[in-house]
Amino acid sequence: MKTFVFCLVAVTVLALSASAQSSEQSRPPIIDVHVHAYTKDERWTQKVPNPRTGQPLTATTEQAHMQATFAEMKKYNIAKAVVSNDYQTVLRWKAASPHQIIASYGFDDPSSLDLEFLRKEHAAGRLMSFGEIGAQYAGIAPNDPKMEPFWKLAEELDIPVGLHTGLAPPNTPYACCPKFRTSLGNPALLEEVLIRHPKLRVYLMHAGWPYLQEIRAIMHMYPQVYADLGAIDWLRPREEFHEHLRALVLSGLGKRLMFGSDQMVWPEGIGMAIEGIESASFLTEEQKRDIFYNNAVTFFRLDKK
């Protein structure tokens, strides 16, 4: 839920106790495919508290937010993170931690895109992923003709794409984004795109929640499509999230679900999201490792080590 970021808790590296350090080293590595970086954000100005815990938001600058997110990533042994919008901020995060950050280019309205710039960034080896694509926030469906030049480019350059699907915080159309519609987050709207661009490497952010039957249909029919569990793994009621996750696993999609936090302006959301997966008692340890790590290695074609 990209556009709605609020941010919290500046946990500093210094604040980590010796015992926390040893427990983090014993944790197996995690890949977080849904992390946000910001240059500035309204939620910083408004000090919007963590929507789950009510805890105050404390990291309210680009630097503080980055450092607090890095500290959380260190605590949970996050080996790689796909970080998106704003792109120039993303590049600064990448410079601060080159081996950890996968730079991703996000946008809402495709008419803002400079395709030549994207080609150059890709050719320079900087741009490795597209996302978060928040076209839904701009009132644009995945299969809208305005999206076509972008899909074509992503397929041609063989770059993974993270597409926002599902919903957003309540009142979104009354607040930031008057063109936002719930119906535009339906994963079924991707079908014609997948027909036209069979080599597209796309993952459905927020696992299409609450469009369960539609995401099952799309992921069943198009085995190249993956999904992330961002935001729903810590912002939705735990039982409801587990029901959605369990249904996807029952459909045999466990090898294509990836861990994402979507921490937004609350870095501690990363730990809360990890807990959301770890507490899923219906998953085997192997299934959890797939979600936390193995599936993202496959989708992003990373070196397993």
Give me the least distance between CB of 2 and Zn ion, in Å please. 4
Angle, vertex CA 195, rays to CA 191 and CA 200, nearest 5: 90
Which residues in 198-227 contact Zn ion (CB under 5 A)? 205
Give me the least distance between CB of 169 and Zn ion, in Å please. 10
Q: Say which amino acid occupies 226.
A: Y
DSSP one-letter code for 260: -
CB closer to Zn ion out of 16 and 175 = 175
CB closer to Zn ion out of 162 and 254 = 162
Q: How far is CA 295 from CA 15, 172, 203, 215, in A?
A: 32, 32, 11, 17
Give me the least distance between CB of 304 and Zn ion, in Å please. 28
Write each residue from 131 to 170 as x if it is in contact with Zn ion (CB under 5 A), else as -, in one continuous string.
Answer: ---------------------------------x------
Give me the least distance between CB of 214 and Zn ion, in Å please. 17
CB atoms under 10 Å from CB of 244, counted, come to 23
CB closer to Zn ion out of 272 and 283 = 272
Give me the least distance between CB of 132 and Zn ion, in Å please. 5
1 binds Zn ion (CB under 5 A): yes
Q: Which two tokens stand for residue 53?
A: 């815990």
**Nearest in space to 106 (alpha carbons), one of 173, 174, 154, 41:** 154
Out of 2, 80, 94, 244, the residue judged to bind Zn ion by CB under 5 A: 2
DSSP for 59-100, written as a single string: --SHHHHHHHHHHHHHHTTEEEEEEESSHHHHHHHHHHSTTT
Q: Which residues contact Zn ion (rule: CB under 5 A)?
A: 1-2, 164, 205
